[in-house]
């Protein structure tokens, strides 16, 4: 367990460090181009762990102890004592367009990073799960719409869904507008293509939190693996108990076993505990007593009997896909994905603000760290894809019209453009206090949701 936590933490710090560095570099690069003197470029907050001063422009580059943010400190007469010879390099002395360009450059850098990450991953190919439906919840919108297990989702409202992750995003996007049914093209298990309607007018897929797709009645397909013994490992509990290849497990301690997963779930918590199995061997029912051997996995003791199944490899081939495009097509797809994810994020935020989506949907650093570790463990393609999604979220968050964020500064600049004079320091001070309360409340809610999910 500790190794998983450490792995997630490392993946999280690397991803967040990259996102913060790119964001702040956007501010830094444009500030230098418009002639503003940069005093400090910091990745992280708090105590400095590493510092280097540039011999070119005197900028102090710092890596700080708390990896939850960063900043670019620029020369500014409102907070610094500025010599007459350097007044022309102060942020507040620059024209409105230059100051606005510096502020918007941070989020823009994150959008560019997301686009490049999507472009790269679409060229090298990203592994995934085919968009095959599993069991459809009774009386759900999916059931009413006529969706069946093993339907392959081809498109949602005209958006192609080559993988299950693509289908999730498209269905979530469709779920944000319940005024009209979503048109979903599917290929049935018999190979027939047809279009079905998914009516969500009476369903609030985001209101109660949880998995929105489950609220629609969808689940992804998972192969049914028979509880059939494939290989019996020597020196294991199964070999000692007399289990043989080809035995089909019918029950464990009188409880029916329908699948290989049922068998695994019966064995795992039963280390050093005798289990009574009933198996089918060549048409005859045979009773077998077996005691799972204890082994430790990630700090947890589980039971293992020393058998494997030989069916899943062929079955899972049905669900495995790789989505890959040539260079030019990948570029177009990356632009489209960046736009789609940006608009989806904005619409989700709108639903949260208006109360049409549950605040349970907000995730904090703990959840993001878990996602980082999971994506990194799957492969570099999924980790890059994760970085792209978080980069877009960071860009959109920073553009919110909240004081202390880039979007708040842009609001001040918009007021200045209309009134022809800067917003007063008193108003900005009040705005900072409001922004601090809003951001503090948001962070508290995110941490609360993270901790609640851990206990759940």
- In the structure encoding, which two tokens stand for residue 417, read together? 């453009």
Position 221 scores a pLDDT of: 86
- The total of structural domains in the chain comes to 2
Q: Any idea which residues carry the catalytic annotation?
A: 24
Please name the residues in contact with 335: beta carbons below 8 A apart, sequence gap of 6 or more: 115
Q: Is residue 69 part of a domain?
A: no
Phi and psi for 119 in degrees, rounded to 5?
A: -60, -45
Domain boundaries, position 191: 129-222+319-323
43, 65 Cβ separation under 8 angstroms: no
How far from 432 is each of 78, 272, 406, 415, CA to CA, in Å? 15, 61, 12, 16
The answer to whether residue 281 is domain-embedded is yes
Alpha-carbon distance of 63 to 49, in angstroms, equals 6
Predicted local distance difference test score (pLDDT) of residue 210 = 62
Each residue's pLDDT, cut to its tens digit, for the chain (456 residues) gives 445 677 777 888 888 889 999 999 999 999 999 999 999 999 988 888 999 998 888 899 999 988 778 899 999 888 888 888 889 999 989 999 999 999 999 999 999 999 999 999 999 998 888 899 989 999 889 999 999 999 999 999 999 999 998 998 898 888 888 788 899 999 998 999 999 999 887 666 665 556 778 888 898 887 778 899 999 998 889 999 999 999 999 999 999 999 998 999 999 999 999 999 999 999 999 999 999 999 887 668 899 999 988 877 777 777 888 889 999 999 999 999 999 999 988 888 887 777 766 666 666 667 777 778 788 888 899 899 999 999 999 999 999 888 888 999 999 999 989 998 888 888 878 888 887 787 777 777 776 666 776 666
What is the signed CA dihedral for 395, 60, 46, 25, rounded to 10 degrees? 10
Q: Are 77 and 93 in contact (CB under 8 A)?
A: yes
The answer to whether residue 293 sits within a structural domain is: yes
Q: Is the pTM of this model over 0.95?
A: no
Domain stops at, among 262, 281, 310: 310
Q: Which CATH number fits the domain that encloses residue 172?
A: 2.30.42.10
Q: Dihedral (C-alpha) 23, 25, 27, 29: value to the nearest 10 degrees?
A: -150
Structure tokens of 392?
A: 């877009």
Q: Which two tokens stand for residue 30?
A: 């444009």
- Same domain, residue pair 288 and 214: no
133 plus 156 within the same structural domain = yes
Quick check: is 156 in a domain?
Answer: yes
Residues 258 and 204 both lie in one domain: no
The closest of 398, 407, 403, 400 to 434, measured between CA atoms, is 403
Cβ distance 211 to 246 under 8 Å?
no
Q: Is residue 372 included in any domain, yes or no?
A: no
Show which of 297, 323, 349 is a domain's final residue: 323
Q: Is residue 389 part of a domain?
A: no
Domain identity same for 275 and 300:
yes
* Distance of alpha carbon 222 from alpha carbon 133, whole angstroms: 9
Q: What is the dihedral of CA 379, 383, 388, 393, to 10 degrees?
A: 140
439: tokens are 């951001």
Claim to verify: residue 195 and residue 261 sit in the same structural domain:
no
**DSSP class per residue in 403-417:** TTSHHHHHHHHHHHH
Q: Is residue 37 situated within a structural domain? A: no
Please, how many CA atoms are within 13 Å of residue 66, restricted to the half-sphere of its CB?
8
> How many other CB atoms are there within 10 angstroms of residue 272's CB atom?
10
DSSP 149: T
Query: CA–CA separation, 67 vs 13, rounded Å?
Result: 7
Q: What is the pLDDT of residue 2?
A: 47
Per-residue pLDDT at 350: 82
User: Are 208 and 238 contained in the same domain?
Assistant: no
């Amino acid at each position: 367990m500790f190794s998983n936590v450490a792995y997630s933490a490392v993946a999280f710090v690397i991803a967040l460090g990259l996102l913060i560095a790119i964001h702040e570099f956007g501010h830094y690069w444009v500030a230098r181009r418009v002639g503003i003197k940069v005093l400090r470029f910091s990745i992280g907050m708090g105590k400095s762990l590493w510092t280097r001063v540039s011999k070119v422009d005197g900028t102090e580059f710092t890596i700080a102890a708390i990896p939850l943010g960063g900043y670019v400190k620029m020369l500014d007469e409102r907070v610094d004592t500025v010599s007459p010879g350097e007044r022309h390099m102060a942020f507040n002395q620059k024209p409105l367009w230059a100051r606005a360009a510096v502020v918007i450059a941070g989020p823009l850098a994150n959008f560019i990073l997301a686009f490049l990450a999507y472009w790269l991953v679409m060229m090298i190919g990203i592994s995934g799960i085919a968009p095959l439906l599993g069991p459809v919840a009774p009386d759900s919108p999916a059931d009413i719409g006529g969706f069946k297990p093993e339907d392959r989702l081809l498109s949602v409202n005209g958006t192609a869904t080559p993988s299950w992750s693509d289908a999730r995003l498209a269905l979530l996007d469709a779920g944000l507008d319940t005024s009209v049914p979503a048109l979903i093209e599917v290929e049935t298990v018999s190979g027939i293509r047809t279009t079905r309607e998914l009516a969500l007018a009476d369903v609030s897929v985001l209101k109660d939190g949880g998995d929105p797709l489950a609220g629609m009645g969808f689940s992804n397909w998972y192969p049914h693996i028979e509880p059939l013994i494939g290989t019996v490992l020597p020196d294991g509990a199964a070999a000692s108990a007399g289990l043989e290849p080809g035995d089909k497990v019918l029950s464990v301690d009188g409880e029916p076993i329908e699948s290989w997963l049922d068998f695994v779930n019966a064995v795992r918590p039963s280390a050093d505990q005798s289990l009574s199995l009933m198996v089918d061997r060549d048409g005859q029912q045979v009773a077998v007593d077996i005691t799972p051997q204890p082994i430790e996995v990630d700090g947890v003791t589980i039971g293992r009997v020393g058998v494997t199944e030989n069916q899943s490899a062929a079955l899972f081939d049905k669900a495995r896909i790789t989505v890959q495009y040539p260079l030019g097509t990948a570029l177009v797809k990356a632009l489209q994905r960046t736009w789609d994810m940006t608009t989806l994020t904005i619409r989700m935020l709108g639903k949260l603000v208006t109360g049409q989506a549950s605040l349970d949907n907000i995730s904090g650093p703990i959840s993001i760290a878990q996602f980082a570790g999971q994506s990194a463990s799957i492969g570099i393609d999924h980790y890059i894809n994760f970085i792209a999604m978080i980069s877009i979220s960071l860009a959109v968050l920073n553009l919110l019209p909240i004081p202390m964020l880039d979007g708040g500064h842009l609001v001040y600049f918009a007021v200045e453009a209309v009134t022809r004079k800067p917003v007063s320091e008193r108003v900005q001070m009040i705005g900072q206090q409001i922004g601090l309360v809003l951001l503090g409340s948001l962070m508290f809610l995110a941490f609360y949701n993270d901790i609640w999910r851990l206990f759940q």
